[in-house]
Amino acid sequence: MFYDQLPRFGAFAPLADPANYTPLPDDWVVGTSDIIGSTKAIAAGHYKTVNMVGAAVISAQINAAGGRAFPYVFGGDGAAFAHPPDHAEVARDALAAVQVWAREAFDMGLRVGLYPVADIRAGGRDVAVARYQVTDGVDYAMFAGGGVAWAEAQMKAGGDTVPAAPPGTKPNLEGLSCRWSHMKARQGTILSLLIQPVDGADPVAVAHVIEEVLEVLRHLDRGGHPIPAEGPALTWPRNAAEMEARVPQADGAAPSKGKVTFELLMAFLFLKTNIKLGGFDPGHYRKVVGLNADFRKFDDGLKMTIDCDAATVARLRTVLAAATGVVQFGLHEQDEAMMTCIVPSIMEDTHVHFIDGAAGGYTQAALGLKGG
């Protein structure tokens, strides 16, 4: 299969080079999603819910794919993915189910769309992918070519490509969780950074700007990773049980709040005491959580949530301001990062963790896009 045959890059910097991406087959489809009114939700203090719904789009697709690998990317208040043509109908149904669930469980509107790659190319954009291997158990898709952004624009313009599902439809979100507390900045600030190419910009020039940005960050511990090397801190996660009690499992039913609270207590006990049970090693699990986290990615541009100091932020602003006509950028500073997770099993290292700023993150950074 196409995606299985792609090479996996073990370093992040080479992914700034468009030559390291492979175009998707013409008959594949690209799915997109976006939460309506996410800015208002952030202002009301509901950004954890926004992230939960965005991650649910990926969770539903993972479960619907039945173990088959496919490219996806988390964007904070939405997500994108791609599938071969024989999976298009299943992907469409999973999108529609999450749309219903988001409205009924959290009173959040969710835009969704599904577009053939051939249509994206006819619109003047491309969709190319690469695979970034973060650990032996997990790799993340990187997207280039502007095609995902094109699909998102069509979706926001009202392109209705996913028929609505009936009320009460439940997606399979087994594995979706939000059991870690926010992670406080250790260097001064959690910076959410977006860099997008200006229309018509030379891809080589864009790659050069991104290389400059990565060079600015080189001095940071582990590239500015917001999770400590030993794993996330252990404090009780607020509202986690209430949120997970709204997450439907494979049978369509959501667990009770009491059941989720008990599971949280047991997990907290083992992680806090570092007691090993059977094949579960809490210390190893915490470390892998950090290693598997997607704090940096290419999604038709560069997205990062990093822990850095004020001098680094100032240097980034200088580098990016000098790239007028090549890229546009948005920055948002906050005190904490947050994490939403998909954990099929705590006994394997295949769990994935989506990082964003805890006070608006990528959504707020997008509002401030400038440069161009």
Q: What is the pLDDT of residues 324-357, one digit of tens each?
A: 999 999 999 999 999 999 999 999 999 999 999 9
Cα–Cα distance, 94 to 205 (Å, whole number):
38
Cα–Cα distance, 143 to 154 (Å, whole number):
18
Cα–Cα distance, 279 to 119 (Å, whole number):
48
Cα–Cα distance, 227 to 348 (Å, whole number):
20
The helix/strand/coil state of 251 is coil
Residues 6+ positions from 330 with CB-CB distance below 8 Å: 193, 194, 364, 365, 366, 367, 368, 369, 370
Q: Sorting pLDDT into bands at 50, 70 and 90, what band is 251? A: very high
Q: How far is CA 145 from CA 7, 22, 36, 197, 201, in A?
A: 18, 10, 25, 10, 12
Q: Sorting pLDDT into bands at 50, 70 and 90, what band is 302? A: very high
| pTM, full prediction | 0.95
Q: What is the pLDDT of residues 187-199, one digit of tens each?
A: 999 999 999 999 9
Question: Residue 260: what pLDDT?
Answer: 93
Q: Sorting pLDDT into bands at 50, 70 and 90, what band is 43? A: confident
Question: Residue 278: what pLDDT?
Answer: 83
| Of the candidates 65, 32, 49, the residue with the CA atom closest to the CA atom of residue 106 | 49
**Is a pLDDT exceeding 60 seen at residue 179?**
yes
Q: Sorting pLDDT into bands at 50, 70 and 90, what band is 235? A: confident
Q: Sorting pLDDT into bands at 50, 70 and 90, what band is 74? A: very high
Q: What is the pLDDT of residues 166-178, one digit of tens each?
A: 999 999 999 999 8
Cα–Cα distance, 354 to 371 (Å, whole number):
27
Domain-wise residue ranges, the chain: 3-232+283-371
> How does DSSP classify residue 178?
-
> Mean of the per-residue pLDDT values for the chain?
94
**152 in Cβ contact with 34 (< 8 Å):** yes
**Residue 306 structure tokens:** 């990093």
Rg, Å, the chain Cα set: 20
